[in-house]
């Protein structure tokens, strides 16, 4: 790991990634939105210069920009629907690393954190987080977090996040132990801080903005007059979250769906911050205390 980080190209990649993380952290401060745009511009320029992106990556930025224009409240209903369809398609393509032009640096390849663990890799992904930035910068319901009004007390978000993380750890990791998917394996690898920053600011934030802030919240609004509508919305978003983990097999679909239910509860009680903290908390407990990513 140390030798890898000493390589000049890797140092440049980590530096550009660090600027992206700073931009993600500033998203939580509405007065710093102008700085977020400046930092994203710096990431794009530096990434092009250093080869993290090539010009084809600009297609993703252009499509997201078009989607942002189409979903403006002043647009006709058909245009807004088209904007949402375009965003969802681009967001999932980015999440699956299908959009062209991105060369995400790989810091770790086929590393076993414990002898019985499946090998893991660590990429600094620059494509997937773009969907999260779009939601938090362009989608009105998430510009001010919580339930869209920005009035939720921070203490409520912190409490929901902490309770959600502990509940998810007990239920999901307990079930994973019972299914022999993980084992007790406390550790803190040398790259732990880098993993944690990436997971909190880019992974958990992006996924919760998409599945809770975008999907669950939209369904809650649509089903606001339906009895138990918020519960149905939570279940649908949790199932969608589970299905995107299908690459890990049925066990991970089940575990991710269960976790999604708890994240959905944290979102309803503590807004987007509560959901992000619950998500990151479970991931952190899994990473530090149990087999990661799973038993071989």
pLDDT tens readout for residues 225-258: 889 999 999 999 999 999 999 988 999 999 999 9
Q: For 203-225, give one letter per residue: b (16+ CB within 10 A) or e.
A: bbbbbbbbbbbbbbbebbeebee
Write out the two tokens for 121: 């890799």
Is residue 152 very low, low, confident or very high in pLDDT (cuts 50, 70, 90)?
confident
Helix (H, G, I), strand (E, B) or coil at 111: strand
Polymer length in residues for the chain: 296
The answer to whether the CB of 30 falls within 8 A of the CB of 143 is yes
pLDDT of 143 strictly over 80: no
The pTM for the full model equals 0.93
Helix (H, G, I), strand (E, B) or coil at 277: helix
Given the structure tokens 């600009």, which residue do they identify?
58
- For residue 43, the model assigns a pLDDT of 96
- For residue 10, the model assigns a pLDDT of 81
The beta strand positions in 113-224, using DSSP E, are: 120-123
**SS3 sequence of 198-260:** HHHHHHHHHHHHHHHHHHHHHHHHHCCCCCCHHHHHHHHHHHHHHHCCHHHCHHHHHHHHHHH
Given the structure tokens 């049925």, which residue do they identify?
250
pLDDT of 147 strictly over 60: no
Helix (H, G, I), strand (E, B) or coil at 112: coil
What tens digit of pLDDT does each residue of 28-80 get? 888 888 999 999 999 999 999 999 999 999 999 999 999 999 999 899 999 99
Cα 210–214–219 angle (5° rounding)? Answer: 130
Is residue 145 very low, low, confident or very high in pLDDT (cuts 50, 70, 90)?
low
Q: Which residues contact 94 (CB under 8 A, 6 or more apart)?
A: 60, 127, 128, 130, 131
In eight-state DSSP terms, residue 99 is S
Domain-wise residue ranges, the chain: 2-289
The answer to whether the CB of 259 falls within 8 A of the CB of 172 is yes
Is residue 148 very low, low, confident or very high in pLDDT (cuts 50, 70, 90)?
very low
Comparing 23-27, 140-144, 283-287, the range with the smallest average pLDDT is: 140-144
Comparing 132-146, 183-197, 208-222, the range with the smallest average pLDDT is: 132-146
Q: Mean pLDDT across the chain, nearest whole number?
A: 92
Is residue 144 very low, low, confident or very high in pLDDT (cuts 50, 70, 90)?
low
What pairing do the DSSP bridges indicate for beta strands 106-111 and 120-123?
antiparallel
């Amino acid at each position: 790991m140390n030798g890898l980080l000493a390589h000049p190209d890797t140092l440049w990649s980590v530096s550009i990634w660090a600027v992206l993380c700073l931009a993600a952290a500033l998203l939580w401060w509405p007065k710093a939105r102008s700085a977020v745009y400046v930092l994203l511009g710096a990431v794009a320029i530096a990434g092009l210069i250093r080869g993290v992106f090539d010009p084809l990556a600009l297609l993703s930025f252009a499509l997201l920009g078009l989607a942002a224009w189409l979903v403006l409240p002043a647009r006709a209903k058909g245009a807004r629907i088209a904007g949402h369809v375009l965003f969802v398609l681009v967001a999932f393509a980015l999440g699956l690393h299908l959009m062209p032009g991105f060369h995400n640096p790989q810091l770790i390849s086929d590393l076993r954190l414990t002898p019985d663990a499946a090998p893991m890799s660590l990429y600094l992904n620059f494509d997937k987080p773009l969907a999260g930035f779009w939601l938090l910068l362009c989608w009105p319901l998430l510009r001010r977090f919580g339930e869209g009004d920005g009035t939720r007390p921070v203490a409520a978000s912190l409490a929901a996040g902490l309770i959600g993380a502990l509940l998810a750890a007990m239920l999901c990791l307990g079930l994973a132990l019972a299914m022999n998917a993980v084992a007790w394996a406390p550790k803190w690898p040398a790259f732990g801080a880098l993993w944690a920053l990436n997971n909190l600011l880019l992974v958990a934030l992006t996924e919760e903005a998409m599945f809770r802030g975008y999907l669950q919240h939209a369904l809650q609004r649509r089903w606001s007059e339906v009895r138990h509508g918020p519960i149905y919305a939570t279940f649908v978003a949790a199932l969608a979250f589970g299905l995107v983990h299908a690459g890990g097999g049925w066990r991970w679909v089940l575990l991710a769906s269960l976790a999604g239910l708890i994240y959905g509860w944290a979102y309803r009680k503590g807004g987007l911050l509560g959901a992000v903290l619950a998500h990151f908390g479970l991931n952190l407990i899994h990473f530090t205390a149990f087999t990661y990513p799973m038993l071989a």
